[in-house]
Amino acid sequence: MHKVKEEELDRLLAKASTFELNREACEQLRSEVLKAKRIVYLTDNCGEIVLDKLLIEQLSLRFPQLKFYAMVRGGSILNDVTEADAKYVGLDQVAKIVSNGAPVGGTIYSLLPEEARSVLDGADVILSKGQGNYESLSGRGYHVFYALLCKCDLFTSRFDVPRLTGIFVEE
pLDDT of 40 over the 70 cut: yes
Output the pTM of the full model.
0.88
Q: Are 142 and 133 in contact (CB under 8 A)?
A: no
Per-residue CA distances from 152 to 94, 137, 155, 158, 167 (Å): 33, 18, 6, 10, 13
pLDDT of 21 over the 90 cut: no
Q: What pLDDT, in 10s, does the model give residues 69-87?
A: 999 999 999 899 999 999 9
Q: What is the mean pLDDT of residues 123-132?
A: 96
pLDDT value of residue 22: 84
**Which SS3 state, helix, strand or coil, does residue 95 take?**
coil
Spatial distance between the Cα atoms of 47 and 141, rounded to a whole number of angstroms: 29
